[in-house]
Structures are given as C-alpha cells and as structure tokens.
Structure 1
Amino acid sequence: MKLTPKQKAFADYYIELGNATEAAQKAGYKGNNLNRIASENLSKLDIKQYIEEKMEEISSNRIAKAEEVLQYLTRVIRDEETEQVVVTKSAGDFITEIEIVDKKLDAKDKIKASELLAKRYYLFNDREIRLKEMKMDLEIKKATEEDIKVDDKSFALPWNVISPAFVEALHKFEENIFTEYVFSGGRGSTKSSFISLKIIELIKNNPELNAVIVRQVANTLRDSVFAQIQWAIESLELTEEFKCTYSPLEITYKPTGQKIYFRGADEPTKLKGIKVKSGYLGILWFEELDQFKGPEAVRTIEQSVVRGGDKAYIFKSFNPPKTANNWANKYVKVPKKNRYFNHSNYTQVPKKWLGKAFIEEAEHLKEINPKSYEHEYLGIANGNGGNVFDNVIIREITDDEIDVFDRIYMGVDWGWFPDPWTWNKMYYNPSQNKLYIYDEARENKKSNKDTYEILVNEKGVTPADIITCDSAEKKSIQDYKNYGLSARGARKGPGSVDYSMKWLVSLNEIVIDNIRCPYTATEFLEYEYERTKDGEVISGYPDKENHHIDAVRYALEHIINNKSKGPININY
C-alpha cells in the first residue's frame, strides 16, 4: 500500500477535520470539483485502509490534533469535561454580581460527542443509519450522482420496446408538426407504455423541458403513472440516471436536474404552484382522459401548466368509455389541426409481452360476450346514452333457480337518513358470466341491532353466511360480529370503485328480480355516468342513488379482486 504525498496529506486532514472537501483543499488539491475529488479519494481502498489504520494507531506529528480531538470527545462522554458559564447572583439591596462558574456538559453535548466519535471509528454499520449520519457516505453518494455526464448524442428509443401500433406515431414526432398527441385503445394496447417511454426520450434529448403527469384523483398517481414511468426507466436501463422520490412524488433526471412532476386535478393548488429551477414545463400527460371533468377542465390545466418555451408536447390517453356520448369519445372525433390521434388494441402487441393468461382471458370474453369484448379489449365505444348498465335483465328469478345456487354472496352498505341502510343477496355464475340478484332489504333510521334482527328474522341470515360490508363503519361491523354474524369489511383503495363498476358492466347479464328487489332494480336501471355542468357525459360514477349498487360491489369484491389482480393495471 503506497500513497502519494498528496493522498496521505488528504487522509491525515480528513481524520483531523472530518470534512472530505476541506481536507482535499488543505492537502493541496485544486479546481472546482473538490467534492468529487474528495469522494473519489474516500472510495479508494488504499486510502480507506490508511485512514482505518491511523485511527487505531495515531503516530504522525501532523495528526496530533486529531488525537487531541478524539481524546476530548472521549472525556466529554465520560463526564470529565466542564464548561464555564456566566451566572448572576444577588449581593443584597437589589444589587447583582456576575460570577464565572464551571458547569457539567448537557446530555445533548454528550450525545453529539458520541456521534462524532462513532463517525471517526466507523461504528455505524447499519446502512440506513450510515447514509443518514456518516458524512463520508453522503459525500460519496452526492459525487456519484454528480459524476453522471450528459451524453452529447441524441437518445433514441430502441425498436424492441415499441409496439408496431406506434411506429407511425414515432414518425409523427419526427415531423414536429403536432403539439397534442391523443392515444386511445383497449386493455393491453400498451399506449401508456409508449407514452412513458417517449417522455423519457424527450427529457433526455431536451434539457430545457420538464414534465407534469396528471390524473383526476391524486391518490391514484403512485400506483399508476408513477410506477409506469419507473417501468420505462428500467426498461431503457437508465436507472442510474434518474432519481425517484415518493415525498414529494417526483422523478429527477440527475445530469440536468430536469423534473417529472405528478399531480391530481382534485388538488388544483398543487398544479398551479409548480415552479421549475431551470427550463420550463413543456410536457404534459393526461392519463385516463375520460376521468377528467370535461374539455373545459382539461383546457384550464393546459393553460396553467404549459407555459414558456417554443416546444410543447401534450399527451392524452384513455380507454374509450362504453357510451359514445362520453365527452372524451366525442372530443377525439372533432378534427384539430395540431393534434395527432392514434387508436390501438392488444392484437397489435407481441403476444409474449401480454402473456398467455391475458390472451386466454380476452378470447374467453370474446366467445361469451362479444359486445363487452369489443369495448374492453378493442376499445370500441359500443353503448348509447348515459346509462352505466345496459346489461341488466329484469325478470322473476324462480325458486327452482334459487334452489341450485351453490354459492351465495351478501353485502351491506351502511346508512341512517337520508341515505338508507341496504343489504343484498346474490349468486354469480362464472361459467356464464352472469349475476343473479334476488333479495334485498332497505331501511332508514334503524340501529345496528334492528338491522341485525331484520337479517336474521326476516331474511334467514345465519352465522355461517359471510356478509361483506362497507369498511368505513368499523364499529357497525364489530356490532354485527358481537351479535354473532360473520361480517367483514370490504377492501378499498385507489381505483377500486372504477374497477368494480367496470367489472359489473362487463358481465354478460345482471339478472334482477324486481318483485323481490324493487329498489335494486330501479338503481341499476336508472344509474347514469356523471355529467359536467354542460351536460357532457364523463366517466365518473356519481355517489348518489347507488346504495344497493354499493352493497352488490362489496358482496362480490373477492371475485372482482381475484379476477382483476387488483384495481390498477399499468403498462397498458
């Protein structure tokens, strides 16, 4: 092990000072990148070994100061050091005198001394603690990030990550004649994958551009578009060039400091308050466009976010809602000079990307419910009006049918007044993809004990019957359990309402016995998509007149979650 004189001086000064950059300066290193030089020195094995050995056996004249420092810290910890403080005391007749006295050090001084001493001796071995407490590790990490250099060459997406459906789109970007790029498509079309990849390419090739990615609801961002951008970075093998943070939710391109921000339209102040350190906000992506509150709301976001600079890229992506009257479906039909539109579906994607299970599920739905297949997988808006459920069949469900129902589901939506407490009983036939709803209960101003007695005495519910309830009312669920019912709370999360509603819409039939379930039949028949103030249909599901619908969703959540593998799907 042989160090140059300058390296040795650096190591000695580092032991004395505990600051790598300052040690490099005192050792004679020159230039504007002393922190990087210092960090490189600390990462060299010979220098690290020298430092460790000298901490055990301090012999050099130069580092006598370091020995003194270490001895002092030890005395502080052992309560052998005092400090002089000025105090005042009464001398009588309203006269005070000043006196200097020795005072033992506070506990906080001893703790700090312990941390400093431990830092010199590498006593913090836990990685999380070391990253937080040890300055050497922090400086190495910082220098590593700063050491990434911008490649002068233009970055291009590799063709093996692009679906054939988007080859034309790549050429349109090269023509540079559009500002708005709209991508619609069915499940598995990989449109979101393409957009996420393209945003990374734009960031790398345009150091002045920063990006904002928006969804209607902020709490859906992390598990959807944030994860989608992370996927794109990993697919392009660029993880060393980007830093992802969860609080705040953003991604930084290390070489230039460019940012990708994530915001929800339901938090408008956070959208308006974005300030970039350099460049401007020139990339905007509306994911799930149909979820936004109409074209006016989208324009408002565009006007508040995209500002400054000559280049702008506005992406809009969505799975077309079933009803042709939805505002997003009508929006893309109106030509716009600066807009490029692309529609894709899973049949254009390499099968190995989607997997065997995905293909089999799509083909199964195609066979048993062609209309739902067209909507879900091909992205065709094949419904009319604003009604959510066009698969409802109203008829008597006979006792003979009920006798062969082998697995029964029950759900409860809590209420008092004016919202009612509701309960439903149903059967799901997976082979036919049909749901049969054949019993209900509905009450206002009834206690949990009252509704329990209705279920047991009037509806024949037993302790063996599982009832899935709205999890917001934990006390009510516990009351039911105390009474002897098998009650449990429904699992909720970002996107769970949308996904469960789409699952109900995808069924071949929802058969409702309107004699046994008059309120349930009315809710399903009359329930409509949310509308803007101008009457435009949007894809939201209004939280009103839907109490039995919610009870049905809760009852079937186990089936829905197992079938969907979760409410949020990325890479689509």
Structure 2
Amino acid sequence: MAETIINLKQKIGKGYGSFWRSKVRYRVVKGGRGSKKSTTTTQWMIYNIMKYPLANALVIRRVFNTHKDSTYAQLKWAANNLEVYHLWYFSKSPLEATYIPTGQKILFRGLDDPMSITSITVEKGYLCWVWFEEAFQIMNEEDFNKIDMSIRGEVPKGYFKQLTLTFNPWSEKHWLKKRFFDKKDDDVFAITTTYKCNEFLGNDDREIFEKMQRNNPRRYSIEGKGNWGIAEGLVYDNWEVKEFDYKEISKKATVKSCFGLDFGYTNDPTAFICLLINEEAKEIYIFDEHYQKAMKNNDIANMIKYKGYTKEKIIADSAEPKSIDELKMFGIPRVQSAVKGKDSILNGIQFIQQYKIYVHPKCENTVIELSNYVWDNKDGQILNKPIDDYNHLMDAFRYAMEQLKKPRFIMK
C-alpha cells in the first residue's frame, strides 16, 4: 500500500492540542459558532480509528435523522481532509463508516430510538469512543447516564474509553454546566473554544462576529465567546422538554391544533411552529417547527405541503401581506394575517404564560429561543418588553395562539 504523508498540525490547526491528547473519561467542549469543535472531533475520530486497530466509535445525536447532514457529512469531510478517504467506506443504509483495511466502524444512533443504543454491539474489537454532537439537545441527564454506563468493560493495554461532548452553551440552567464545568473532576477535560482559534475562517466569516459584537453583544457573548446563555429574566419559565406522541394527544376532544409563521429572508430565518393546545388542561404541546434563512415564498409553501399542513389554518406575520397572498397562490389556502395593535406583544406573552408548555425534543430551535428569550434591561433595570432577539419562533408562537381568543386578540 502506498504511503501518504501529511502534516497533521496543518490539517487540524491550533487551539485543540490538549483536547487531542486527552485520554480521560469525559472530554467536553462548549464553544461558540465556528470554533472548530466538530471538525476537530471528526478528524480525531478518523485518525484514531486508524491508529487503534481494535477500536470502534459511536456518534449520537438527539434525533437520528439529523446525522446525515451533520456528523456523517463531517466525517466524510474529515477523511477527505486527512487524505485517507479511499481507505473508508461510508454507507447510508445502514448509516455507518467502515475503515476498509480492518473492518472497524463508526456507528450512528439517535436518542429517539434508545433500544438501538443499549443493544449495540461491534463485530470486531471494542466500542471505545462515543461522541455526543449538539449535546445541549440532551435535556435529560439520565439519557446520557444510560449510555455512559453501557460503555464499560476492559480494553487492551494502551486503549482507553472516552465520551466526547460538543455543544453551543445556550443556557446556564442546562445539566451540562453543573456536571462538567462547575466542579473540578480528574475524569473530566472541559474547555471553551471560540472562532478566534479557527484559522481556517475567512475574513467575511470574522466580519460576521465583529458586526455581532457591535450590534448584538448578548448574542455575541454566546455565539462568539462561547459563554453560557444567561437564564435570568426569561420571558417564559413555564416550559419543559418532553417526549410525547402528538398523534395520540390530537385525538382528545379538548385539543386544538394551531400553526404560526414568521417571515424572514437574508438576516432572519423564516420560522414556522406547530402546536396542540388543550384548553381544558391549559397545556400547549409544541410538536414541530421549521427554521431556515433565504426561503422564498414558494419554498415556504413547499415546506408546509411536505410536512402535511396544507389544509391547516396558519396565522402569519401581517407585515408581509404580499407574501401571504403568494402563499395562497402557491396552494396554502387557509393562511391569514395576524392582527396588530398597541401592546400586542405583551398581551400575547401574558396569554401564553397562562399555559404549561411542553416542547418535543426534535424542536431544537424552539428550545434555543425559549432558553434565551428574556426581558430587556437598561443599566441593570428590567424593562417591560422582551429583547428583539431569539424571537422568530416566539413571534410565530404568539401568532399561532391568536385564534384561541375570541374575539381574536391583537398581535404584532
């Protein structure tokens, strides 16, 4: 076999030397966007599978079907970047990566199918390493503990077992902070990384962060500097992440479905949210979402059709009547404008605060917004209005709830 010599330091870059060398049980990286945490982890995994011929790896995300466009694609990139792609076989069914010379595997699983994880076995060698990507989405520490406990047993001399967690630190209330960052533990290697350690970013990428620092310091603190999101002053504290079967809930006579849409394009995402409301029990179940920039109106219509909500009543931002008319023209007949007026944001918030909110784990962007949607403040004084940020799905949420009040209460 012909040898290929590469400069590993040039491929990986700086800022992750201690991470790369660490062999402790838990290796935890919180970081801002663009901080190389995922690309470094994928290259580490490809390199070390090839280095340790009896080791196998498992990659976990909250929802299995999100792997294909994230971790799976990133591992393919890593193999290419390390110039060893020809030694790997990436299969889509089943979703896995195989190191051809030895048959070692990188497996992919989702917490939405726990049986697929607890019953996992490898054909050759040992399951040594687990990578939890977007670990912030694991809202229940017990889900992590079950997998942690399953990675046990002796491994050959020179081998080690390790769990790696990478995530954006959206909320300081998350169990990850207390577990891995608030106390010293010899079994834990925990660091915070930022875009400043990513020498592979272009000037245009850095400009985005510089503009964010000037115009939106709070978002920059989280997405730029990798600091924990501050949970003080949350607009909604009446929510939790919970697994539920929305089809079963929708069968109840007291349950009504509601849908909201907030338009975006270049700077802001289009946000679509789907709710089930039990008026009798004062419960809201958020069961689906869509969150994407640069969507044209025909794209929005196709998304709604694909999700199966064509015939549903959808309350949309009335600031774009032309977009609403176009959605009707594209085959979404029941979309209609929200009503606007004085104090409509506060009225909508107060109405939602009367309910208990349950968010399905797959609604990742809803969880992020709920975790960071806070009351604005000036010089430390809390104001009676929310920040103009982390509010795209929150606005769509208020629009969706509008139809529950009769007469329709005013929205903005």
Instruction: Indicate whether the TM-score tops 0.5.
Output: yes
Does residue 476 of structure 1 match 2:311? Answer: yes
2:10 to 160, 166, 179: 160
In structure 1, the residue corresponding to 2:186 is in which secondary structure? coil
The amino acid of 1:216's aligned partner reads R
Q: How many residue pairs are counted as aligned between the two chains?
A: 317
Higher strand share: 2
Compared with structure 1, are the counterparts of its residues 434 and 467 closer, same or farther at alpha carbon in structure 2 (3 Å cutoff)? Answer: closer
- Deviation of 1:196 after TM superposition, in Å, equals 0.8
- Deviation of 1:191 after TM superposition, in Å, equals 0.7
In structure 1, the residue corresponding to 2:74 is in which secondary structure? helix
2:55 match:
209
Question: C-alpha offsets along residues 301-356 of structure 1, whole Å, 9 cap, x if unaligned?
Answer: 122245441521221111111x2112122222232211111211001211xx2223
Question: C-alpha offsets along residues 126-150 of structure 1, whole Å, 9 cap, x if unaligned?
Answer: xxxxxxxxxxxxxxxxxxxxxx59x
Compared with structure 1, are the counterparts of its residues 210 and 444 closer, same or farther at alpha carbon in structure 2 (3 Å cutoff)? Answer: closer
1:196 match:
42
Partners of 1:188 and 1:423 in 2: CA distance = 31
In structure 1, the residue corresponding to 2:180 is in which secondary structure? helix
Output the TM-score relative to the length of structure 2.
0.64
Partners of 1:191 and 1:234 in 2: CA distance = 18
1:65 match:
none
Q: How does 1:403-442 map to 2 (within 5 A)?
A: 418-421=255-258
Paired residues of 1:386 and 1:529 also in contact (CA < 8 A): no
Paired residues of 1:212 and 1:263 also in contact (CA < 8 A): yes
Question: C-alpha offsets along residues 491-525 of structure 1, whole Å, 9 cap, x if unaligned?
Answer: xxxxxxxxxxxxxxxxxxxx995348733554389
Partners of 2:89 and 2:351 in 1: CA distance = 52
Q: How does 1:527-546 map to 2 (within 5 A)?
A: none
Q: How does 1:221-236 map to 2 (within 5 A)?
A: 221-236=67-82
Q: How does 1:450-469 map to 2 (within 5 A)?
A: none
Paired residues of 2:256 and 2:277 also in contact (CA < 8 A): no
1:295 to 141, 153, 160: 141
1:450 match:
none
Compared with structure 1, are the counterparts of its residues 550 and 488 closer, same or farther at alpha carbon in structure 2 (3 Å cutoff)? Answer: farther
Q: Percent identity?
A: 25
Question: C-alpha offsets along residues 238-281 of structure 1, whole Å, 9 cap, x if unaligned?
Answer: 01111110000001111111011000011111112322221110
Compared with structure 1, are the counterparts of its residues 242 and 347 closer, same or farther at alpha carbon in structure 2 (3 Å cutoff)? Answer: same
**Unpaired runs of at least 5, structure 2:** 238-249, 271-275, 280-296, 316-323, 333-339, 362-366, 372-391, 400-412
In structure 2, the residue corresponding to 1:316 is in which secondary structure? strand
1:312 to 161, 176, 190: 161
In structure 1, the residue corresponding to 2:189 is in which secondary structure? strand
Compared with structure 1, are the counterparts of its residues 162 and 479 closer, same or farther at alpha carbon in structure 2 (3 Å cutoff)? Answer: closer
- Deviation of 1:428 after TM superposition, in Å, equals 7.1
Compared with structure 1, are the counterparts of its residues 194 and 553 closer, same or farther at alpha carbon in structure 2 (3 Å cutoff)? Answer: farther
Does residue 277 of structure 1 match 2:133? Answer: no
1:374 match:
221
In structure 2, the residue corresponding to 1:182 is in which secondary structure? strand
Paired residues of 2:258 and 2:313 also in contact (CA < 8 A): no
Partners of 1:529 and 1:328 in 2: CA distance = 21
Partners of 1:486 and 1:251 in 2: CA distance = 45
Compared with structure 1, are the counterparts of its residues 182 and 427 closer, same or farther at alpha carbon in structure 2 (3 Å cutoff)? Answer: closer
Q: How does 1:243-258 map to 2 (within 5 A)?
A: 243-258=89-104
Does residue 354 of structure 1 match 2:204? Answer: no
1:97 match:
none
- Deviation of 1:190 after TM superposition, in Å, equals 0.4
- Deviation of 1:527 after TM superposition, in Å, equals 8.5
Paired residues of 2:35 and 2:193 also in contact (CA < 8 A): yes
Output the TM-score relative to the length of structure 1.
0.47
Compared with structure 1, are the counterparts of its residues 261 and 477 closer, same or farther at alpha carbon in structure 2 (3 Å cutoff)? Answer: same
In structure 1, the residue corresponding to 2:225 is in which secondary structure? coil
2:321 match:
none
Q: How does 1:56-75 map to 2 (within 5 A)?
A: none
Partners of 2:119 and 2:277 in 1: CA distance = 46
1:507 match:
none
Partners of 1:330 and 1:529 in 2: CA distance = 23
Paired residues of 1:282 and 1:307 also in contact (CA < 8 A): no
Partners of 2:311 and 2:347 in 1: CA distance = 26
Paired residues of 1:197 and 1:229 also in contact (CA < 8 A): yes
The amino acid of 2:65's aligned partner reads N
Compared with structure 1, are the counterparts of its residues 475 and 275 closer, same or farther at alpha carbon in structure 2 (3 Å cutoff)? Answer: same
1:523 match:
352
CA RMSD of aligned residues (A): 4.6
Partners of 2:45 and 2:130 in 1: CA distance = 9
1:260 to 91, 101, 106: 106
The amino acid of 1:158's aligned partner reads L
Partners of 1:517 and 1:326 in 2: CA distance = 27
Question: C-alpha offsets along residues 517-553 of structure 1, whole Å, 9 cap, x if unaligned?
Answer: 7335543898879699xxxxx86979xxxxx947727
Partners of 1:467 and 1:230 in 2: CA distance = 30
- Deviation of 1:486 after TM superposition, in Å, equals 3.5
2:187 match:
338
Partners of 1:429 and 1:246 in 2: CA distance = 32
